[in-house]
Amino acid sequence: MAKTAQKGGEKRGAKGAAKAYDASSITVLEGLEPVRKRPGMYIGTTGPDGLHHLVWEIFDNARDEAMGGYAGDIEVALLPDGYVRVADNGRGVPVGIHPKTKVSALETIMTTLHAGGKFGGDESGYKISGGLHGVGASVVNALSEHTKVVVHQDGGQHMQEYKIGKPLAKVKKIGTTKEHGTIVFFKPDATIFKEGVEWSWEKIVTHLRQQAYLVKGVRIALIDARAAKDAFETDTLFLREQKLNVPSMTFYFEGGLKSLVAFYNKHQTPVHKNIFYVEREQDNVQVEVALQYVDDITSRIAAFANNTYNSEGGTHITGFKTALTRALNTYGRSANILKEKDENFTGDDVLEGITAVISVKLPEIQFEGQTKAKLGSVEAQGAVSTVFGEALSAFLEENPDDARAIINKVLLALKARKAAKAAKDSVLRKGALEGMTLPGKLADCQTKSAEEGELFIVEGDSAGGSSKQGRDRRTQAILPLRGKILNVERARIDRMLASIEIRALVIAMGTAIGDVFDISKLRYHKIIIATDADVDGAHIRTLLLTLLYRHFRPIIEGGFVYIAQPPLYKIVKGKSVAYAYSDKEKEAVLKELGTATGEISENPLEGDEALEEAEGEVVATKKATKVNIQRYKGLGEMNPSELWETTMDPTRRVLKQVSIDDAEAADRIFDILMGTDVASRKSFIQSNAKLANLDV
């Protein structure tokens, strides 16, 4: 072996000496080159989420001015040609020469990583900042084909432009002004964001509304000027002053998190009248908490650190849960609502039906990971536990009616937990979880590999029969459901598991449910909902998605849930067979076949034979080939071969993967559609009726 390796080395040397691996081999990326080389490291992804992250980064700079008390107005505008404009009436980015870089401070901030007002310890910088690395403006600049900054400051307007992060000229004065603030224009680079530069109005509205709640007393406006027909001046501080005839929204909340909890509970029935709220500083950590219990079994907790949403929670959530459990147990015992015979409330008991928002602000903040999804600052845990625990205990003493309603709600959760545990123990025995007693209606697949396994959830015995015959038995399992499953939006686990259909699905998936849920036990990595293309099928699909979202959310988040897209039409002309998945596609197929409307028949035809009646009997005569169109109302109408080639064959089928782009919005939609608020559901249906594609 040693000789072989040596000979190989000699051969390479014959063609030219291999380049030595020394100091000169190390590549050094200068300026903003690292950002363009690895954009995902800075914005997470170059897809739609990363694209919108650019807006958040520039907005955060304006918001930090507001958090510091220097700005009261922020305006975000979507402009033609993919541009975004963010303006604030803060102090304005300094335009003087920076002592270290020897260029304008504005240019330094826009072209240098880790430059900004977030690192200095003096009073002129930000005491509290949403940014972690101070890279926001420079990253956006690097990933934009064109950026322009206009600063209103000390009576003058100053401007600098950039191309993919590099200044086109020095900062120059372009006029006079009586205003103060900063305007940033940027156009994302389409060569970086290859999926397209398409701004989502709904996504931006949701984010800015949330931020307006978090920075109370600050006015945040959003303007959609993408289709503006009239010319307008872009260098004036706020576009709204020009009274443009374009869509706009403005958010302004004095109540802060208290208002946010009320917004979250808009479609819920509160258990108690007064919303709990506290705002106080402890050990240099600003703590703000609001909560209210509602008549529901789902908990909704949103956590923020320096106004950045922490989807995975963190130390502030830990402190909150500890203090909540301790305070409610203490009050329940002292008020004699929680009897001696009762066990203490657990963390799960006190969280049932709670809507809470926790926000902390720290001078020095630490997150776990680049995306800031989880707060790691240890001091936040103690500060939240102390501030929230003391304030909640006082709230319970001062509001006895609210306190009794809360304790009774939690006591109900405790009793339900015991009942649910008994139900789970009786249904989900160890053998069932390990697949030894799988439901009889399940036609399981042969493979034991979850990565290969697919579970088709079909509607009714008819579709079940066809799919069982047409499937690939090695990898595809079939579970037929009879009728509509229970709406689990407000059902506890014990009631859910009393349903034969839900119990069969839970056991088939193998993960168990509730506190014993284990996604590593998932038996299939594709859970495919295959219901009929009618109103009943859509309802069953919604009920299944409600079940999966409320009790098996990690399965959706893991990308394991899909919706099958069976065809609506089978089109036959002679020996040619085509399937169409929509009316538009049907018209395209007919056009491709060169078929006029008059040539379409509703009766099956074979080959080039056309059927006609002659003197009481049916005879075949040679005629121009007509087209037969069969409209599928359900999977049960397909024979096994049709079902395989259209819906189950991995090489030809169409599947839609279910994802949760905005968990907050998804939660609200499920509340409206599947909850008990009839008025809200009616309003939602009326508002969105025009979007429905009905087959009546």
- pLDDT tens track for 229-253: 878 888 889 998 888 889 999 999 9
* 459 classed as catalytic: yes
Mean pLDDT over 25-53 rounds to: 79
User: On the CB side of 677, how many CA atoms lie within 13 Å of its CA?
Assistant: 20
C-beta separation of 44 from 70 below 8 A = no
Provide the pairing of β-strand 172-176 with 156-163.
antiparallel
**Sequence-distant (≥ 6) Cβ neighbours of residue 470 within 8 angstroms:** 639, 640, 641, 642, 643, 644, 648
Q: Across the strands, what pairs with 148?
A: 161, 185
For residue 138, give both structure tokens.
């420079």
For residue 271, give both structure tokens.
């258990």
Residue 13 predicted with pLDDT over 70: no
Tell me what pLDDT residue 666 has: 60
- pLDDT tens track for 319-343: 999 999 999 999 999 998 888 777 8
Task: Count the residues in the chain.
Answer: 696
Given the residues 296, 444, 459, 494, the one annotated as active site:
459
Residue 16 predicted with pLDDT over 90: no
Given the residues 534, 608, 664, 677, the one annotated as active site:
534
Q: What is the phi/psi pair of residue 181, to 5°? A: 155, -175
Residue bearing the bigger pLDDT, 601 or 616: 601
User: Running DSSP on this structure, what letter comes out for residue 362?
Assistant: -
Tell me what pLDDT residue 533 has: 76
User: On the CB side of 413, how many CA atoms lie within 13 Å of its CA?
Assistant: 26
Given the residues 145, 235, 536, 608, the one annotated as active site:
536
Residue 587: Cβ-neighbour burial (10 angstroms; 0-12, 13-18, 19+): exposed
- pLDDT tens track for 72-130: 999 999 999 999 999 999 999 999 988 888 889 999 999 988 665 544 444 555 555 55
- pLDDT tens track for 223-233: 999 988 878 88
Q: Which residue has the tokens 């087959």?
A: 695
* 22 classed as catalytic: no
The whole-model pTM stands at: 0.66
Mean pLDDT over 36-53 rounds to: 90
* 368 pLDDT tier (thresholds 50, 70, 90): confident
- pLDDT tens track for 536-582: 888 888 889 989 988 899 999 999 999 999 888 889 888 888 888 88
- pLDDT tens track for 180-205: 999 999 999 999 999 999 999 999 99
* Element containing residue 1 per DSSP (H, E): none
Residue 362 predicted with pLDDT over 50: yes
Dihedral through CA 306, CA 309, CA 314, CA 318, nearest 10? 90
Q: Which residue has the tokens 């000027």?
A: 225
* 88 classed as catalytic: no
Tell me what pLDDT residue 116 has: 59
Q: Could you give the CA distance from residue 487 to residue 642 in angstroms, rounded to a whole number? A: 32
Tell me what pLDDT residue 513 has: 85
All structural domains of the chain with their residue ranges: 33-251, 257-424, 428-566, 569-631
* 536 classed as catalytic: yes
CATH says 33-251 is which class?
Answer: alpha beta
Closest C-alpha to 171, from 158, 183, 182: 158
**Sequence-distant (≥ 6) Cβ neighbours of residue 420 within 8 angstroms:** 492, 493, 494, 514
* 415 pLDDT tier (thresholds 50, 70, 90): confident
Tell me what pLDDT residue 632 has: 86
For residue 659, give both structure tokens.
């994802």
Which one is the CATH code of 428-566: 2.60.40.1730, 3.40.50.670, 3.40.50.850, 3.30.2020.10? 3.40.50.670
- pLDDT tens track for 602-641: 444 433 333 333 533 444 444 556 788 888 877 888 889 9
Average pLDDT of the chain? 83
Mean pLDDT over 499-523 rounds to: 89
C-beta separation of 493 from 514 below 8 A = yes
Tell me what pLDDT residue 102 has: 87
Given the residues 189, 349, 532, 642, the one annotated as active site:
532
Tell me what pLDDT residue 515 has: 76
Tell me what pLDDT residue 593 has: 79
Q: Which residue has the tokens 């802060």?
A: 256
Q: Reduced to 3 states, what is the DSSP secondary structure of residue 325?
A: helix
Provide the pairing of β-strand 569-573 with 285-293.
unpaired
Task: Please report the sign of the dihedral spanned by the C-alpha atoms of residue 83, residue 86, residue 87, residue 90.
Answer: negative
Mean pLDDT over 651-669 rounds to: 76
Q: What percent of the chain has pLDDT over 90?
A: 50
User: Running DSSP on this structure, what letter comes out for residue 318?
Assistant: H
Please give the CATH number for the structural domain made up of 257-424: 3.30.230.10
Strands of the sheet containing 354-361, edge to edge, are 276-282, 285-293, 354-361, 300-305, 308-309
Residue 595 predicted with pLDDT over 70: no
